[in-house]
A and B are shown apart, each in its own frame.
Chain A
Amino acid sequence: MQQSAAAHPIVEIRKLWFGYERSRPVLRDINLDIARGSVVGIMGQSGCGKTTLLRVIMGALRPSAGEAKVLGHATRGLDTEGLYAMRRKMGMLFQFGALFTDMSVYENVAFPLREHAALPEELLNDLVMMKLNAVGLRGAAHLAPTELSGGMARRVALARSIALDPQLILYDEPFTGLDPISFGVIVRLIRELNDSLGATSVIVTHDVQEALGVVDYVYFMAAGRVIAEGRPDEIRSSAEPFVRQFVNGSSEGPVPFQYPAPGYDADLELASH
């Protein structure tokens, strides 16, 4: 039912379970594929485990059970070197950018290039300028991260994450706290960069409407499980109650409004007299 890809999926997850403690799993029996070249969204409420899933894909967390295969390597068996080799083909955009505050914008984008490729300065300069141009911030190259607005900082972080031309780009809540214009810019950039680099993108978000407009495929999560998946049009017309509640943003549905509590009367001082 997923978008059929001629090549091997970039990410294959089978029967994945994960928990920090054995008694409390955060991810339960996850099965998903991410096809090469596609933009895939992982959505759900806060606390459903989507960020944890992203960290498993990143290799920062090892599966407690089951298998996660990224770029052809099973993350469980990787040693540090293998992990770093895998990560050199990936890029990640953190929620608020996570730019290095003691370096300029230029140095931030140059960082992965300096660390992993011994390039002459002129070539390095060209590459950095190209990446900054792709996100529209070539003119801001010599500013400090503290001088940037939220949207600009995130775009610089995006330029940094594509510095090594990754095959897989991960986005952790990329739309949080952005104004509508910056929002639109980021959305456009995600799509453009994915296609121009020939990469695959995974977006973890709960901004449903905008995400549905940019992704090719969606996985919905709740309480650590994948409860629905499909293409955006399928999701919009889905009859599944949770998906409906989420897509419509309504307060009534399978996810209750009230946090579990004893009877209202018990908590009211007046009623008890």
Chain B
Amino acid sequence: MRVADVRARLERLGAGVTTHVLRLGFASRFLGYLVMHSGTALKRFRLTTAEIYFAGVLSLIIILVSGMFVGMVLALQGYETLQRFGASESLGVLVALSLVRELGPVVAGLLFASRAGSAITAEIGLMKATEQLSAMEMMAVDPIARVVAPRFWGGVLSMPLLAALFSAMGIFGGYVVGVQLIGVDAGAFWSQMQAAVDVRNDILNGVIKSVVFGIAVTWIAVFEGYDAPPTAEGVSGATTRTVVTSSLAILFLDFILTALMFTGGTHQ
């Protein structure tokens, strides 16, 4: 490879990194502006309520069904392995902790990003492409306050509720498979679970995770929509980027949060 080729590649790499850093900076300023101008979204709560409907209520079916299946699979797989150590009575513990600590926030977050996140990006992107946002600005109404902020808060408020419902459905699914189908003792299932799952450490931390994921996913979704080039390809690219970036962000943040929250026992 010639020196010129190598140099060209490095330049492109550098330009790519710079673009991403610039974009991240712009996105941060956007978030700051959005939060500062959230007055309308909170005072006229009807706007936010409508967005909670579109982001949260319409995601309910996929969340509940997926939650149930995940719980059921956990019970099946878990039983297989646990009964080899004679620990099949701990099935409840396995299902509950897996869901509440990890799978609830993460999988619900990924599903939310795919369904609601992409819908929000497409909607805002399309409004930008058809000049609806400019028209609003021309009528002296700040489109970020009126259109973007309600969607942001709608997503942030929906996400923890969806994650909790996912975990709850999963535990129910695990109960159905574990106790009703496989035959693990119901009493042991629930009592061991209750002894092992701590409200402060496990459930609260799971809720914190889902709040963080909600903020990340919705931020990415509204930003990509607002920043999308006003063309068909632009909007479709933005929608894809929302799903991909949100998913990566969720997994990355999950690692950070898990390290902070759940390995806290190692330092006294």
Contacts and interface: CB of A to CB of B under 8 A. Distances in A.
Interface residues on A, range: 20 to 34
Interface string A90-115: 11101110111100000000011001
B131 A96 contact: yes
A69 interface: no
B213 to A, nearest CB: 27
Interface stretch (B101-109, B134-142, B174-182): B134-142
A96 B134 CA distance: 12
A60 B134 contact: yes
Contacts of B138: 58, 60, 87, 90-92, 94
B139 A87 contact: yes
Contact of A94 (B126, B134, B140): B134
B19 interface: no
A115 B138 CA distance: 12
A88 B140 CA distance: 6
Contacts of A60: 134, 137-138
A84 interface: yes
B122 to A, nearest CB: 12
B201 interface: no
Nearest to A80: B142
Contact of B132 (A85, A95, A100): A100
Most buried by B among A83, A98, A112: A98
Contact of A101 (B130, B137, B140, B146): B130
A116 interface: yes
A84 B140 contact: yes
Contacts of A112: 139, 141
A83 to B, nearest CB: 8
- The secondary-structure label for the interface of chain B is helix
Contacts of A84: 140, 142
Interface of B: 126-127, 130-132, 134-142, 146
Contacts of B135: 92, 94, 98, 100, 157
A111 B131 contact: no
B130 A115 contact: no
A241 B44 CA distance: 58
Contacts of B131: 94-96, 98
A95 to B, nearest CB: 7
A95 B146 CA distance: 22
Nearest to B50: A102
Given A101-B132, A115-B141, 8 more contacts: A60-B137, A83-B140, A92-B138, A98-B130, A98-B135, A99-B132, A101-B126, A116-B139
B132 A98 contact: yes
Contact of A116 (B126, B127, B140): B140
Nearest to A88: B140
Contacts of B146: 115
B141 A96 contact: no
A85 B139 contact: no
B202 to A, nearest CB: 40
A87 B139 CA distance: 6
9 contacts: A84-B140, A87-B137, A98-B130, A98-B132, A99-B132, A100-B127, A100-B135, A101-B126, A101-B130
Contacts of B140: 83-85, 87-88, 115-116
A268 B146 CA distance: 57
Contacts of A157: 135
Contacts of A85: 140
Nearest to A112: B139
